[in-house]
Amino acid sequence: MSWLKSIFAAAVIQALAILPGHAGANLDAIKSSSTFRIGTEGTYAPFTYHDSTGALVGFDVEIGREIAKRLGVKAEFLEGKWDGLIAGLDANRYDAVINQVGITEARKQKYDFSDPYIVSKAVLIVREDNDEIKTFEDLQGKRSAQSLTSNFGKLAEASGATLVGTDGFDQSIQLVLNGRADATINDSLSFYDFRKHKPDAKVKIAAQQEEADASGVIVRKGDPELVAAINEALKAIKTDGTYKQIADKYFGQDVSK
């Protein structure tokens, strides 16, 4: 029977090897190394990208730095392609990913999230002088500039619009501006970013959906102490006005709700 004991002991050792350390281990490691390793793309403006000097900047980058600051450590950004970012948590390449990761039930099965730090909504965009379209229902019989396979395109179609196919947000806005489309349904964050760079553009939000898609800081599952520390940092960032400064810089308004 000794061989059974040996097999059982080996199985126990293997199981322990893949289990996470004690609760708080990730936070302890971050503080011990004085570094908060953050996975991000670096190619997704205005959230995480490189400016004309080559420096890594963006809304998510600044939020990450502020979280690290309040944890009492330094932020270290490790760039990677989107497809491998979350998997990098499993490989312990990062302590967290801050890259507009949507909080979904499927992801919450395997990972933990902070409280939401930014939300986006579907908005209906029209020319500034358009007083005819005021609700999504008013799209009935109108032309809506959309990426044909997007959820926004499906929403426009469900509202009775005829779709005018585009390659993305910028082209959709241009078609609305030049009158080749009556409207576009798109992401609120993309619109705020556009207006920040082109404040004189003659477009406006006519309506918006109440349901919001929230993004959070995603970390490995099983360390509530780290999640709590990140949430406390986010709370402090919002309370002391830092969040507003960052949001105004990139979007011209609060994007937390």
* Topology agreement, domain 2-119+214-251 and domain 122-211: yes
Q: How many CB atoms lie within 10 A of CB 25?
A: 15
Nearest to 169 by CA among 151, 149, 146: 146
CA gap 124, 128 in Å, rounded = 12
CATH superfamily, domain 2-119+214-251, is Periplasmic binding protein-like II (3.40.190.10)
Domain residue spans in the chain?
2-119+214-251, 122-211
CA gap 23, 18 in Å, rounded = 14
Band (pLDDT 50/70/90 cuts) for residue 7 is very low
The confidence score (pLDDT) of residue 10 equals 42
The confidence score (pLDDT) of residue 24 equals 76
CA gap 126, 185 in Å, rounded = 9
CA distances from 208 to 4, 7, 36, 68, 256 (A): 64, 60, 36, 34, 15
Band (pLDDT 50/70/90 cuts) for residue 23 is low
Lowest mean pLDDT among 24-33, 235-244, 247-256: 24-33
Q: Does pLDDT of 4 surpass 60?
A: no
Q: Say whether the peptide bond before residue 224 is cis (omega within 30 degrees of 0).
A: no
Domain 122-211 grouped into CATH 3.40.190.10:
yes
